[in-house]
Chains A and B, each alone.
Chain A
Amino acid sequence: MRGSKVWFPVVSVLLVLTIVTAACATPTPQVIKETVVVTKEVEKVVTREVQKVITREVEKVVTKEVEKVVTKEVEKPRTEVRLSGWTASPEEENLLRALLYECSLQNPDILVKYEPIPSDYWAKIKTMVGSGTEPDIYYMDIFQFPFFATQGVLRPIDDLMAAEGVSRDEFLDTLINAFTWEGQTYGIPKDFNTLALFYNKDLFDQAGVAYPTNDWTWDDLKAAAQQITEATGVAGFSVPPDPGRFPIFVFQNGGQIMNEDFTDTLLDAPEAVEAGEFYTGARAEGWAIIPQDVGVGWQGEAFGKGDVAMVLEGGWMVPYLSNQFPDRNYGAVHPPAGPKGEGNLVFTVAYVVSKNSQNPEAAFKTIACLTSEESQTKVLTSGFALPSRKALQDHEYLQNNPVSNAIFTGAEFATPFMWGLKGETVNQAMAQALERVYLEGVSVADSFKQAAEEIRAALQE
């Protein structure tokens, strides 16, 4: 008696299992009935009423039943890869979502789970990597890249590139080289920015000064800024204590911020100090301001408000100005050249693959699709960012948008915005070196010496 009671549920479970597995077995062709529209006639019915002629169209649909043989496809399990990045703006997020949709059509066997990180991206992603829960693909800023590369948490992608037929030569050299470490490629640059000299056309017209060109030098910048300041009362130029702006003057003067292997700083070398004297001198001589002088935290805002005639900023200015200051009449050219030629900074972000990724092939396929020429064309024409592919350098969008073109071609003379493993300490030391000059009147040489010492102390820890 007891035995039968135990057996009953076991048997029934087995029975159900058999039925379920049978249902899941290989697909059999099925004959289904479908109603198909064969013809569609439109008949015009003309009716005459008392004073009007009314024309009515009547649709006559003729249908027929047909038999179709359909093989029901078994759904293949899709490979899941996770993708994370920060969200600069809702528009940019939507653009990425649109690209991901296109890629899901191209790679139907890959399911990309997009998990944006809205704030504190680096704290979050570093914690995730530390606990082994990071996504397969994530955004990597060049500024942070050395840390991730030296810790061995990224997957080298040269083999995956070869398998997908993606070549390093397809990308701008400055960008792909930036994401290369010890001879291996770690990321596909998705876009980039450089600095350009944005100028307010109205203020130039008002002062009767010719617009800047790509061939300008420091002397031209100074002369024009002085004329504008005198003629209009609005400062000609802006020299913020910003480690993302000042370094290009050091490059243009033949100097560097850090040495080759980022083990020492060159901020107290004569090239850097001279550049600092020219930069901070601009404010002392009265032809330039810092944004705080006109009550804003960022010179882009001062430029939008018309409180300064020229600023060195990047491509993010284009959507910002068209949203906030749509009436601003402006242009942009390469930053002026210094005594030792041209110099610029390049800000770039890449897609990288986590070393822990279970599906590196699927992850790279997704990256390849997101950075394909087709996707990059969409990025370019959306106006948010500049594409990393050489093939797009002659694209008509760049020819029609001289501002974007100036930023794109600026990459040629640009150094990546990256100062090694203690990059933020370097940034702060640099910013404070300039602030000491502006706020406390310390000499550039002394201030830069102090900054260099602070950086060296941090590097030796």
Chain B
Amino acid sequence: MTYTWRRKLADWMTAYLFIFPVLLGWGIFVVVALVMSLYFSFTSFNLLKPPEWIGPVNYLRVLRHSDFLRYAVPNTLKYSAVVVPVQTVLSLIFAFALDQKIRFRDFFRTAFYLPSVTSSVVIGIIFVWLFSPKGVINQLLGLDVNWLYNVQTALPTIMLVNIWSTTGTMMLIFLAGLQDIPSELYEAASIDGANRMQMLRYITIPMLRPVIFFVVTLGIIGTFQVFDQIYIMTKGGPLKATTTIVYLIYFWAFGDVTPDMGRASAAAFILALAIFAVTMVQRRFLEREEG
């Protein structure tokens, strides 16, 4: 009895010893940070003076703020509604194409993936040049549009940049998913006389469902948190046309002369809850379809 108990304890100790380094880092930089910002979201806190408890006031202020309601939320939703479907479909098409035995397959796989490993700051700067009024895009199209300094085109331009840079990652995930589908299924289907479109409709897509869920979830989380390209390319302008939720959080936390960490933290928690809720709904939706 005591022997097995001791043995169990020793096993536990060993296991925890091994995961301790990661646990420590995660504990400090995730758990403690999370709890602290949850606390800050209920306080008035400008970084210099100790936080002062004010209850849920910050949440009400965020939810009533005109910048949040009129710009940040609609812009973020528009952004997500365009970027997620487009990048999912595009990357799925690329993955199908590059799953076939075509010439220069490895070259294309690398080329499509390349933007994903490039720094978003560098991508932002390059696209600022490409989309400048005298830039390559205007010269190719023969237009004279100031893409990033126009209320109508600024946000779509940033959507385009994001689609271009993340499609590669999604393609890679789909490729891995496609290679996981057992070839027997296709063999069996071909014996039954199914054509390629039928195989795609009845084998590939259903088998890829968990991967699609993963890619869409990743896409929603990523687009809800879009920040770096906006910070580099437009700073939320012109006329707040590209002000998104995270950009607004950044402005409240560090943009103004007086930091408002309380309100920034509250907005961050509202965003986290929104992402959680959307992911849950989406999961229900995909599961029901399966059942």
Residues of A within 8 A of B (CB): 120, 122-123, 126-127, 129-130, 143-144, 146-148, 151, 153, 292-295, 420-425, 431-432, 435-436, 439-440, 454, 457, 461
Contacts and interface: CB of A to CB of B under 8 A. Distances in A.
B164 interface: no
B180 interface: no
Majority secondary structure, B binding face: loop
**Top 7 closest pairs, chain A to chain B, by CB:** A295-B133, A130-B47, A123-B254, A424-B256, A295-B134, A423-B257, A151-B48
A435 B258 contact: no
Interface string B122-144: 00000000001111000000000
Contact of A423 (B46, B254, B256): B256
Given A130-B48, A151-B46, 18 more contacts: A123-B253, A126-B254, A127-B47, A130-B47, A144-B257, A147-B46, A295-B132, A295-B133, A295-B134, A422-B257, A423-B257, A424-B255, A424-B257, A436-B239, A439-B239, A440-B239, A454-B66, A461-B61
Interface in B108-165: 132-135, 146, 149-151
Interface string B252-269: 011111110000000000
B8 to A, nearest CB: 41
A123 B253 CA distance: 9
B240 interface: yes
14 contacts: A126-B48, A126-B254, A146-B257, A147-B48, A148-B48, A151-B46, A151-B48, A292-B146, A295-B132, A422-B257, A431-B237, A435-B239, A439-B149, A440-B151
Interface string B56-95: 0000010000100000000000000000000000000000
A447 to B, nearest CB: 10
A421 B258 CA distance: 6
Contact of B238 (A122, A129, A421, A435): A435
Nearest to A134: B48
A410 B133 CA distance: 35
A129 B256 contact: no
B49 interface: yes
A123 B252 CA distance: 11
B240 A432 contact: yes
Nearest to A419: B257
Given A126-B47, A295-B132, A439 B256 contact: no
Given A143-B257, A422-B256, A424-B257, A439 B48 contact: no
Nearest to B149: A292
Contacts of A130: 47-48
Nearest to B240: A432
Count chain A CB atoms within 10 A of each CB in B49, B237, B257 and give the residue with the most: B257
Nearest to A144: B257
A320 B226 CA distance: 33
A160 to B, nearest CB: 22
Given A292-B146, A432-B239, A129 B47 contact: yes
Nearest to B151: A439
A148 to B, nearest CB: 8
A120 B254 contact: yes
A461 B135 CA distance: 43
A127 B45 CA distance: 12
Contacts of A148: 48
Contacts of A457: 66
A129 B258 CA distance: 13
Nearest to A124: B254
Contacts of B258: 147, 421-422
A457 B239 CA distance: 18
A81 B238 CA distance: 43
Contacts of A435: 237-239
B37 to A, nearest CB: 14
A20 B238 CA distance: 69
Contact of A425 (B47, B256, B259): B256
Contacts of B149: 292, 439
Contacts of B134: 295
Contacts of B251: 424
Nearest to B238: A435
Given A123-B254, A424-B256, A292 B133 contact: yes
Nearest to A292: B149
A439 B257 contact: no
B260 to A, nearest CB: 8
A143 B256 CA distance: 10
Nearest to B261: A130
Nearest to B235: A428
Interface in B251-291: 251, 253-259
B263 to A, nearest CB: 8
A120 B255 CA distance: 10
A151 B50 CA distance: 11
Contacts of A127: 47
A122 B48 contact: no
A11 B251 CA distance: 64
